[in-house]
Structure 1
């Protein structure tokens, strides 16, 4: 089997995520785009810190179907949604970090707005800490198709640039390739930790 050139980079990212503890108890899922029709997505129930090439399934972006008959991640529909919405997206990372999960619960609005942090510049297109970065927050839902429709509707009205939070669930982020998706993940996770600590300090 010919290995997609980005799959090795995705495996390295998955092992790094596993070491960080950002996808505990086989949680999380990761993917890369192969082309306009196909993506490669991690198989359900696999520990992300010890994935191999054999643990990724080819999935059709339009139908969410895996020709192999094996079961891809439960959140397959969110990965394929991103690939449909953003032709430039080449990799998607979905993690369950504590900072993202807690912030998504204490933030009651439909956006987490980050402002004043130098590390905002880790996100593509951001050049100043004076700008504001809005990360959408969606209520979690076991109906992934319904959730994908809500996210798609949001994206028709407001920009979806780096990622989104699922309340009480975690972060999904993406980039043009694995390196950019990984940078967005690390940058957002740092920003979430800073924002959470700041809110704790400011609490009366």
Structure 2
């Protein structure tokens, strides 16, 4: 498959993911950003400021593996967060970043991390095959200095081991997978689990 054909295929998958995520209210206005990695190491990435429920192929651009534009279009300001994940995880082929309400609010209830434990739906996450699992979703302070934030995330992973997702306080969350459909499954499963935790802990504090 040529790189151009591969790009078109991944762009179509990102467009479909955008419509799915927007339909559930997880990328309001022009929030969020999505990417996928091509076989040559370049990235297909949503153009800055585009509505994710109305994406067209023109709203998907290419960057090199370091996030530098290859087609003159403007990438998301958060491109380096995608780049850092691709460099950390060679098997990752897609990164999705919605601004879902539950992930946005989670940092108001949980200061540094959200623990998901003993849920059947954890098996929707790649590599987990039992509900008797425990994952930690770290929460980072929002930071307009994206290189600094990307370094903070990478240092956390280096110190604590692999993670499935992370939340940026008051902002949204990042998750990833070995394909766009896999990453989208992670988005859906995690948002469901975030919702349960918000209800549970909100009731406890009420």
Into which bin does the TM-score normalised by the smaller protein fall?
Answer: over 0.9
Q: How does 1:12-27 map to 2 (within 5 A)?
A: 12-27=16-31
Structure 1 residue 7: Cα displacement: 2.5
Q: TM-score, normalised by structure 1?
A: 0.94
RMSD across aligned positions (CA): 1.4
| 1:150-169 map, 5 Å | 150-169=152-171
Partner Cα separation in structure 2 for residue 180 and residue 117 of structure 1: 19
Distance across 1 between alignment mates of 2:6 and 2:178: 19
Preserved contact between residue 10 and residue 36 of structure 2 (Cα < 8 Å): yes
Paired residue for 1:173, among 130, 154, 175? 175
Superposition misfits of 4+ residues, deviation over 4 angstroms: none
Alignment of 1:122-161 (within 5 A): 122-161=124-163
Q: Following the alignment from structure 2 to structure 1, what is the Cα–Cα distance between the partners of residues 34 and 165?
A: 13
State whether residues 91 and 177 of structure 1, in contact with CA within 8 Å, keep that contact through their aligned partners in structure 2: yes
**Structure 2 contact 10–44 (Cα < 8 Å) conserved:** no
User: Aligned to 1:50, what secondary structure does the other structure show?
Assistant: coil
- Displacement of 1:38: 0.6
Q: Is the 8 A contact 1:104 1:170 kept in 2?
A: no
**Structure 2: gaps (5+ residues):** none
Does residue 190 of structure 1 match 2:192?
Answer: yes
Task: Output the CA distance in 2 between the equivalents of 1:169 and 1:98.
Answer: 9
Deviation at 1:145, TM superposition (A): 0.5
Partner of 2:86: 83
* Structure 1 match to 2:63: 59
Which deviations, in whole Å up to 9, do the C-alpha atoms of 1:108-156 show, x marking residues without a partner? 12x2111121111111122222221111111110000010111111111
1:43 equivalent in structure 2: 47
> How many residues matched?
202
